[in-house]
A and B are shown apart, each in its own frame.
Chain A
Amino acid sequence: MTKFIKAFFKYGLIIALIFSVCLSYSNFTFAEEGQPTEAQVKAAFIYNFGKFVEWPADRMGGKYFVIGVYNDDDFAQVLTEIVSGKFLHEKPILIKQFSRIEDITGCHILFVGYSAKDYLAELLNRAYKSPILMVGDMQDFANRGGMINFRMVGNYMRFEINVNAVQKTGLKMSSQLLKLAIVIK
């Protein structure tokens, strides 16, 4: 091994890293092209779910259509980007982030990420009362009483719907949506 290569690896890496940070200084960003990410697809799904579900009239009094995100800041960011400026049920969409269960109020749809798996019972209690359409992203979410759950089948996004859970809350779900879902009873 020549001295040059050794010297390069002694200091070269630092130089390369500084260089890369300098690039970021000049507002250089690593743009993502082409394929949408998993989170972006999920966000679009959630927007679509909103179209196919009817909430009781007393829940539709507010100014905004509120989509809540529990404990997943990254997803909230993506969701905001995807649905910004869009309307659901003739109301502008507002994204709210929640980090504590007590704070969850006044949303129509609530997305709970994987990190919520240990507090599911409490979250569901709240969702049944309100009612909120709970959308989850974890194994067994629909089996354990969640309403809609994302599931990857191969490289494609699918979703499960727990029909009993939806009926319990008083939400009305279009049969069109049920046709596309993996129904869990």
Chain B
Amino acid sequence: MDIPSFLIYRKFLHYSGEPFKNIFRNTILPKFCQFITLLLNYKKINGQIISLPLLIIFLANPVCSYEIAKGSKIGHDLTEMSIEELMNIEVTLVSKEPERYFNTPAAIYVITNEDIRRSGATSIPEALRMAPGVDVERIDSNKWAISVRGTASRLTRTVLVLIDGRSIYTPIFGGVYWEDNDVMLSDVERIEIVRGPGGTYWGANAISGIVNVITKSAKDTQGGLVSLGAGTLERIFGNVRYGGKNDRGLYYRVYAKYSDRDGLNHDNPDRDKYDEWQTGQMGFRVDKDLSEKDSLTVHGDFHSARIGLYDSVSSYSAPYSQILADKEDSYGGNVVARWQRKLSEKSDLAFQIYYDKVNHRDILYDSDTDIVDFDFQHRLPWIWRQQITWGVGYRFINSKTSGLDTSFFRPEDETFNLYSFFIQDDIELVKNRLHFILGSKIEHNDVTGFVIQPSARLLWTPTREQTFWAAASRAVRTPSRFDYEYQNTTFGGLVGGVVPAYSRVIYLNDKPQDLIAYELGHRITFGSKFSLDTAVHYDIIFETPSIEYALPSPHYYIETTPAPAHYVVPYNVDHKLMVKTFGGEISAEYRPFTWWRLTASQSIFYLHIFKDADSTDMRSIDDLEKATPRHQSILRSYIDLPANMNLSAMFRYVDNIPTLDIPSYCSLDVRLAWKVKPNIELSVVGQNLLDNEHPENSVENEIPRSFYLKMQWQW
């Protein structure tokens, strides 16, 4: 062991608890410390930046040897009081939500229903702006580029998004159509955001993150709710929900929502209001306890949207290339049924089946996808200090596409089968102190065959106030049809003013993108007022798509059909890039008073690209590396005011994106709400208050300052 590793080793040893000192001292710690020094010595890394989060962990570490004084600084002894006196004490409830995640060995962040309500967000992407490590870039009014610990684009393919157990990751495009997917935000219980891979549990495509939207049970949404609003960017919107029950213990709710959004600001008059966006959605949910042990949930949605689109389309005859701005209608629907049975304490069975249809229209190609998915999961009883969970799944995907002669899938239609099996074992090495969680998912699909995604996690809870975790995992992204069946030809110009020349990208990459991730995390609470969550990661992603010349120099040939004859420079999409990323997120929550809550977070993300020696990819490494903001800060403040009013504010700083010429920006969103009566709330929301407009992903489309007014009535 070299000297820096040894110093880290000593530091850790000093504070580690007695019970498992030997295992820790002899095996885990030396490896861990060597890994950290390796990280610190890693040539391209600015040592200071990675050392900051680590420094924080080390600083916080001694705290575990302290007994933190908690609570009970009350002037009087409560046990001296009679029951009558106790009944007259006013008690303020504090949300228990964060505690549930305190002992999770992964970088998880939870956006609660209250967070969503008080943020004034009107869509899932806007709500995700609250989470650290999530990069949300609005491309135009109806499109977002969202990534977790990665480069964001409309084609972000490494984040798995689930709504109530249903994957909304589209298998054709390999991303998420945020413009199609909506939920009734007031019925969302929470949004869990896992940064880092989740392949072992969630399966393929959970590479750099998971967004899991969980709606409330129908039992918790009884009664009616109507909300109406109007504003500048959010031109008009309305939500209606009614929940009831019958006398046999069946709870239900039905909802409908509509919104009409304006386009963003465009300097180019051609683009004026191209991106207007109207959506309508309705759905239901039924929850019923079939017996003491069995419960059944059935829910479904139907959604429809009119989406404004803008793209450049090439053709083989004059005018060769033209800009199309168009309004297209997309629709879809789904039904999910989930049955759960409690077998005993800590043991249960769950079976889920869903059908999902999405008909999405775009300028370059249309697609129609049907998915049927089965999932079974069994949690075995706790035996020999172990909890074993296993499950099997099957997904059938039938997709149909239709494109243009310069943009198409071959074959147009395809079916795809995905089989999966997973097993996970949670071993308690030291009671209430140390857990080791080992698991793997094994998948088989029609394109890549068998794929194994193992992970190992260690969770150490030295005191009730503090948790450390470490993880090493592999996650794999199954190629989407876009990766291996798509072909796109773009007009480049006229050679000699006569012969048209095209570049043609042929997607042939049927290798799964493969990630190995190492993560470390730490959580600590100081009393019930202050908590801190830190996570750092180092990821290596193999088999990342590259664009290679298909022909040797001079790289082009002459094609005669379709007429007229034209030059073509063909490119193949191969996988000759390797990506290394590292970064960290730190978030803190502070409640100085019961009426004031503050949360702050800071994220750092660095990305390095390595080309294989034989790669002919023409894109500059610098451009690929600088396509994502490196720093991001979020500060939120929630204040309860007198007279049934409350004031919420979110400030964000987002670093620049040099590749896209996007300057860094600061934004401020403010919401003021007033409960006129216990069941009527009026709110006014101002978004992006700090500047007139700023771009986030495309310099052509700028997000303006906007306002809206909303009234909500509940009964």
**CB <8 Å contact, A22 and B345:** no
Q: Which A18-34 residues have C-beta < 8 A from chain B? A: 18, 20-22, 24-25, 27, 29-34
Give the shortest distance, in Å, between A146 (CB) and chain B (any CB). Answer: 14
Q: Enumerate B600-643 residues with CB–CB distance to A below 8 Å.
A: 600-602, 631, 633, 635
**Which listed residue (A1, A31, A44) contacts B690, Cβ 8 A?**
A1
A118 touches B59 (CB 8 A): no
On chain A, the residues within 8 Å of B99 by CB distance are 74
Say yes or no: is B82 at the interface (Cβ < 8 Å to chain A): yes
Q: Which of B147-155, B303-311, B445-453, B522-530 faces chain A?
A: B522-530
The yes or no answer to B42 lying at the interface (CB within 8 A) is: no
Most chain A CB inside 10 Å of its own CB: which residue of B344, B345, B529, B601? B345
Within 8 A of A (CB), among B569-601: 586, 588, 594, 600-601
Q: How many residues of B contact A (CB 8 A)?
A: 65
Taking a contact as CB atoms under 8 Å apart, the answer to whether B664 and A6 are in contact is yes
Cβ contact within 8 Å between B93 and A38: yes
Which residue among B70, B96, B600, B665 has the maximum number of chain A CB atoms within 10 Å of its CB? B70
* A127 sits at the interface (CB 8 A): no
> Which of A6, A48, A180 touches B666 (beta carbons < 8 Å)?
A6
A47 at the interface (CB under 8 A from B): yes
Residues of chain B within 8 A (CB-CB) of A1 are 665-666, 690-691
Best-buried of A16, A30, A83, A122 by chain B (most CB within 10 Å)? A30
Segment 167-199 of B: residues with Cβ below 8 Å from A: none
Determine if A25 and B79 form an interchain contact, defined as CB atoms under 8 angstroms apart.
Answer: no
CB atoms of A17 and B529 under 8 A apart: no
A14, A20, A41, A77: the one within 8 Å of B78 (CB): A41
Do A44 and B78 contact each other (CB < 8 Å), given the known contacts A25-B62, A180-B83?
yes
Q: Does B464 lie within 8 Å of A36, measured CB to CB?
A: no
Which A residues lie within 8 Å of B94 (CB)? 37-38
Q: How far, in angstroms, from A180 to B83 measured CA to CA in the complex?
A: 8
Is B526 within 8 A of A30, CB to CB? yes
Choice from B72, B524, B653 contacting A81 with Cβ under 8 Å:
B72
Q: Which of A59-67, A128-136, A153-161, A164-172 is the contact stretch?
A: A153-161
Known: A45-B86, A122-B344, A180-B87. A83 touches B79 (CB 8 A): yes
What chain B residues lie within 8 Å of A12 (beta carbons)? 633
Query: In whole angstroms, how far apart are the Cα atoms of A31 and B530 in the complex?
Result: 11
B59: chain A residues at CB < 8 Å are 18, 21-22, 25
Residues of B within 8 A of A5 (CB): 666
Cα separation A173 to B83 with both chains bound (whole Å): 14
Q: B342 — which chain A residues lie within 8 A by C-beta?
A: 118-119
**Contact check: which of A14, A31, A39 meets B69 at CB < 8 Å?**
A31
Contacts of B247 in A (CB 8 A): none
Interface: A57 (CB within 8 A): no
Q: In the complex, are the beta carbons of A78 and B71 less than 8 A apart?
A: yes
- The residues of B that contact A77 with a CB separation of less than 8 Å are 70, 464
Q: Report the separation of the CA atoms of residues A31 and B527 in the bound assembly, to the nearest whole angstrom.
A: 7
**B-contact bits for A115-152, CB 8 A (1 contact / 0 none):** 00011011000000000000000000000000000001
B296 nearest CB across to chain A (Å):
15
Interface readout for A49-90 with B: 1 if CB under 8 Å, 0 if not? 000000000000000000000000110011001110010000
Give chain B nearest CB distance to A17 CB in angstroms.
6
The residues of B that contact A185 with a CB separation of less than 8 Å are: none
Q: Kindly provide the distance from the CB of B650 to the nearest chain A CB, expressed in whole angstroms.
A: 13
Nearest-neighbor residue (CB-CB) of B342 within chain A: A118
Given the complex, which residues of A lie within 8 Å of B87, measured CB to CB? 156-158, 180
Interface size on A, residues (CB 8 A): 58
Which B residues, 53 to 83, have Cβ-Cβ distances below 8 Å to chain A?
A: 55-56, 59-60, 62-63, 66, 68-75, 78-79, 81-83
**Residue pair A156, B88 in contact (C-beta under 8 Å):** yes
CB-CB under 8 A from B600, the residues of chain A are 13, 16-17
Report the minimum CB–CB distance from A35 to chain B (whole Å).
7
Q: A6-B653, A14-B602 are in contact. Are A32 and B529 (CB under 8 A)?
A: yes
Q: Is B92 an interface residue (CB 8 A)?
A: yes
Residues of B within 8 A of A81 (CB): 70-72
Closest to B431 in A: A99
Closest A residue to B529 using CB positions: A30
Bound-state Cα–Cα, A121 to B293, Å: 10
Given contacts A17-B56, A21-B56, A157-B87, contact A35 B92 (CB under 8 A): yes
Report if A82-B90 is in contact (Cβ < 8 Å); known contacts: A21-B60, A36-B78: no
Bound together, the chains give a CA A105 to CA B291 distance in angstroms of 28
List B contacts of A118 (CB < 8 A): 342, 345, 348
Decide if A73 touches B464 in the complex (CB within 8 Å).
Answer: yes
> Does any Cβ of A come within 8 Å of B292's Cβ?
yes
Looking across the interface, which residue of chain A has its beta carbon closest to that of B651?
A9
> What CA separation (Å) do A39 and B90 show in the bound complex?
12
Whether a CB of chain A sits under 8 angstroms from the CB of B382 is: yes
For the complex, give the distance between the alpha carbons of A121 and B342 in Å: 11
Q: Which residues of B lie under 8 Å from residue A86 when comparing CB positions? A: 79
The answer, yes or no, to whether B91 is at the interface (CB within 8 Å) is yes
Would you call A47 and B529 a contact (CB within 8 A)? no
Interface residue? B532 (CB, 8 A): yes
In angstroms, Cα B56 to Cα A14, docked, is 9
Interface centre among B78, B631, B666, by most A CB within 10 Å? B78
Say if the beta carbon of A43 comes within 8 Å of chain B: yes
Chain A: minimal CB distance from B185 (Å): 24
Most chain-B Cβ atoms within 10 A of its Cβ — which of A17, A34, A73?
A17
A156 touches B344 (CB 8 A): no
- Kindly list chain A residues whose C-beta atoms are within 8 Å of the C-beta of B66: 27
Let me know if B71 and A44 touch, CB within 8 A: no
Q: Is the CB of B83 within 8 A of A40?
A: no
B56 touches A33 (CB 8 A): no
A27-B66, A74-B99 known; A47 vs B74 contact (CB < 8 Å): no
29 CB contacts below 8 A, A to B, read A1-B666, A1-B691, A10-B633, A17-B586, A17-B602, A18-B59, A20-B532, A20-B588, A21-B59, A25-B59, A29-B526, A30-B529, A31-B527, A32-B73, A32-B74, A36-B91, A37-B91, A37-B92, A40-B72, A47-B79, A100-B382, A101-B345, A118-B345, A119-B344, A122-B344, A155-B90, A156-B88, A180-B84, A180-B87
Name A's B-contacting residues (CB within 8 A). 1, 5-6, 9-10, 12-14, 16-18, 20-22, 24-25, 27, 29-41, 43-45, 47-48, 73-74, 77-78, 81-83, 86, 99-101, 114, 118-119, 121-122, 152, 155-158, 177, 180
Known: A47-B79, A122-B345, A156-B91. 6 other contacts (CB 8 A): A18-B56, A21-B56, A25-B62, A29-B69, A37-B71, A114-B96
